[in-house]
Amino acid sequence: MWVTQLSYKEFSGFLTGLGSQIGPTPLCTLRKLFGEIFMKFVTSFFLAVSMLFSTSAIAKPLNIDVSEFTLKNGMKVVVIPAHRAPVVTHMVWYKVGAADEENRKSGIAHFLEHLMFKGTKNRPQADFSKIIARNGGQDNAFTHQDYTGYYQRISKDRLEMVMSMEADRMQNLVITDKDIATERDVVKEERRTRTDNKPGTLFNEQLNAALYTASPYGIPIIGWMSEVAKLTRADAEAFYKKYYTPSNAILVVAGDVTPEQVLALAKKHYGVLKNTANPGPRVRTQEPNPIAARRVIMRDKRVASPYVTRLYLAPSILHAKKSEAEALDLLADVLGRGSTSRLYKQFVIKEKVAVDVGVWYSGSYMDSGSFGFYAVPLPGASVAALEKKLDAFIAETLKTGITQKELDRARRVMKAETVYTLDSQNSLANVFGRALVGNRTVESILSYPDRLDAVTLKDVKQAAAKVLKIERSVTGYLLNDKSK
C-alpha cells in the first residue's frame, strides 16, 4: 500500500517507500544509491509526472478522447480509450483522504486502505491480490491527503472480473477483530520503518506540521503513532460506511476499451450498488494567512548529507487566481528544476557552494499548496551560510524576475514533458483520476497547454511576490551531530 503525496520534490520519497508526508531527499544521496544514468531517467520521468499532478496537465496534441458518465447512484465513470495494447487500467478513486479524518483519528484513511484487502461476504478468503496476480495483473492502493485510490492493470478480457471484485469490496467488506489487530501492527511497523527510521521523512513531517498550523495537512497521512495504536474496528467500519459509497467514488478506466463497453459493465457491477451514506460537503479548517516565519532545526546522527529547506505556503490550483498556479510552476522550472536551472548553475556550477539544489511548486492539493527550495552544502560546510546565499538568491529573483527567454524555454519543456509522459495508459488514468477527485474538470485538464501559453512575465513576478514572503515560510535544517 502506498502513502503518497506526489510532487516533483517528492519523487525521492516515492523511491524509498512513500513515507507519510514525504519531502525532498537530496538527489546526491539517490545518485549514490541508483547511479547517474538511472537518476537522469528518474528525474525526467517524475518531473513530467509531478508537473501533471500538480497542474492537471494534459497536452492537446495527444488528441485524448475522454468520455464521462454518471450512474443512477451518483458514481462517476470516466473512460479513456488507448488501443496500443490489449490491456486496461481500472481505478476507483474515493473522495476522502487523510485530511478528512476526525480529530484524534489520524491514520484511519490509510488504515482502512489496508483493511480493504481483507475478505468480503462473497470472498471471505481475503485473496483479492492473489486473484489479480493469477490472472496476470497488478494491483495496489494509495492514500493521499485528499483521496484514496485502488487500481488494477490487467488484460482487457479480465476487466469484468476486476469490476466485480472492486464493486464487491466497495459494499461487502468484512472486518474482524483479528484483522484490526493484525493490520494495526502492520501500519505501526510501516510507520517505524518508513518514517521513524528515516531522518529525512521525520524532518519533512516536522516541516509540514510547522507550515500547516491549522489545516489538517499538517498531520501525517500515516498518522501519529499514539493515535494509530488506538484505532478500532468501530472506527474503521464507520469510516468505511460513510465514505466508501458509490456517490463518493469515481471510476476511471483507460486502455483497449470503448466507452460503451465500460459503461455497460459499470452499470452491471457498480450501478446496482446502493449508497450507504451521504458524506456531505468536505468542510476543513483552512490555513490562516501566515504572519510569522517559522524555523525547524533537527539533528540526527544518521544524516549523511545535511541540508536546508525553505517552504512557503502557496495557493493550490483550485484557489489560485487566473494564471497564478501556472506561473508558479513555470517559476519553479526556471529556478530549480534540473542542471540547467538558475539555482543549480549559480550554486553548484559557478560558485560551488552546494552539491545539489532544487525548487518545486506543489499545487495539486484541494486546500493549500507549497513552494519550496532545498540546498545541500559541500561536505563540512555551513548550512547557515548556504541559507544566507539562498536568501540573497530569492531576493534577487523577486527584484529582477525571470527573462522572456527563460519563460519560453520552461513553457516548451513542460509542454513536451506532458506529451511524452502521457504516452502511457497508466499515466492517463492517474492524471484524470487525481484531477477529477480533486474537484477539477476534464476541460480544465485539456486546457492546460493554453493556460501555460497565456502566462506572462508580469504573471510570474506577481505570483513570486505574493508567495515568496518570509512570513509565509518555514525554514528547516536537517543536520547531523557534526554539522556546523
Q: Are residues 33 and 91 located together in one domain of the fold?
A: no
Same domain for 342 and 398?
yes
Give the sign of the dihedral formed by CA 444, CA 450, CA 452, CA 458. Answer: negative
Residue among 113, 190, 205, 387 flagged as catalytic:
113
CA distance 212 to 216: 7
C-alpha 46/C-alpha 165 separation (Å) is 31
Residues 248 and 136 in one domain: yes
CA distance 372 to 381: 22
Note the pTM of the prediction, 2 decimals. 0.87
Cβ(269)–Cβ(163) below 8 Å: yes
Residue 351 buriedness (CB in 10 A; 0-12 / 13-18 / 19+): exposed
Q: Which three cell numbers stand for residue 301?
A: 546522527
SS3 per residue for the chain: CEECCCCHHHHHHHHCCCCCCCCCCCHHHHHHHHCHHHHHHHHHHHHHHHHHHHHCCCCHHHCCCCEEEECCCCCEEEEEECCCCCEEEEEEEECCCHHHCCCCCCCHHHHHHHHCCCCECCCCCCCHHHHHHHCCCEEEEEECCCCEEEEEEEEHHHHHHHHHHHHHHHHCECCCHHHHHHHHHHHHHHHHHHHHCCHHHHHHHHHHHHHCCCCHHHCCCCCCHHHHCCCCHHHHHHHHHHHCCHHHEEEEEEECCCHHHHHHHHHHHCCCCCCCCCCCCCCCCCCCCCCCCEEEEEECCCCCCCEEEEEEEEECCCCCCCCHHHHHHHHHHHHHCCCCCHHHHHHHHHCCCEEEEEEEEECCCCCEEEEEEEEEECCCCCHHHHHHHHHHHHHHHHHHCCCHHHHHHHHHHHHHHHHHHCCCHHHHHHHHHHHHHCCCCHHHHHCHHHHHHHCCHHHHHHHHHHHCCHHHEEEEEEECCCCC
Same domain, 456 and 348: yes
Q: Is residue 282 part of a domain?
A: no
Q: What CATH number did the domain enclosing 145 receive?
A: 3.30.830.10
Neighbour count for residue 412 (Cβ, 10 Å):
11
Same domain for 109 and 89: yes
* 190 annotated active-site: no
Is position 277 within any domain? no
Residues 423 and 302 in one domain: yes
Contact indicator for 376, 26 with CB cutoff of 8 Å: yes
Range of the domain at 112: 63-269
Q: Is residue 191 part of a domain?
A: yes
Question: Is there a contact between 388 and 475 (Cβ–Cβ < 8 Å)?
Answer: no
Distances (CA, A) of 394 to 58, 276, 342, 350: 30, 51, 11, 17
C-alpha cell at 336: 530549480
Last residue of one domain, picked from the residues 200, 234, 269: 269
Q: What does the pLDDT read at residue 444?
A: 86
Query: Would 214 be classed as within a structural domain?
Result: yes
Q: How many domains does the chain have?
A: 2
| Residue 245 covered by a domain | yes
Domain shared by 54 and 144, yes or no: no
Domain assignment present for 281: no
Residue 102 CB burial class (10 angstroms; 0-12, 13-18, ≥19): exposed
* Distance (Å, whole) CA 292 – CA 471: 5
**339 and 243, same structural domain?**
no
Domain identity same for 132 and 161: yes
Residue 295 and residue 367 share a domain: yes
359 pairs with which residues across the strands?
373
pLDDT of residue 8: 28
Dump pLDDT digits (tens) for 381-397.
999 999 999 999 999 99
Q: Per residue of the chain (484 residues), give pLDDT as tens.
A: 544 433 322 222 322 222 333 334 444 333 333 333 333 334 444 444 444 444 333 334 446 899 999 999 999 999 999 999 999 999 999 999 999 999 999 999 999 999 999 999 999 989 999 999 999 999 999 999 999 999 999 999 999 999 999 999 999 999 999 999 999 999 999 999 999 999 999 999 999 999 999 999 999 999 999 999 999 999 999 999 999 999 999 999 999 999 999 999 999 999 999 999 999 999 999 999 999 999 999 999 999 999 999 999 999 999 999 999 999 999 999 999 999 999 999 999 999 999 999 999 999 999 999 999 999 999 999 999 999 999 999 999 999 999 999 999 999 999 888 777 677 888 899 999 999 999 998 888 888 889 999 999 999 999 999 999 999 999 999 999 888 7
Q: Burial level of 465, CB count in 10 A (0-12/13-18/19+)?
A: exposed
In a domain, 120, yes or no: yes
Residue with cell 466508501: 244
Statement to judge: residues 305 and 225 lie in one domain? no
Q: Is residue 279 part of a domain?
A: no
- The whole-angstrom separation of Cα 355 and Cα 342 is 14
Do residues 384 and 437 both lie within one domain? yes
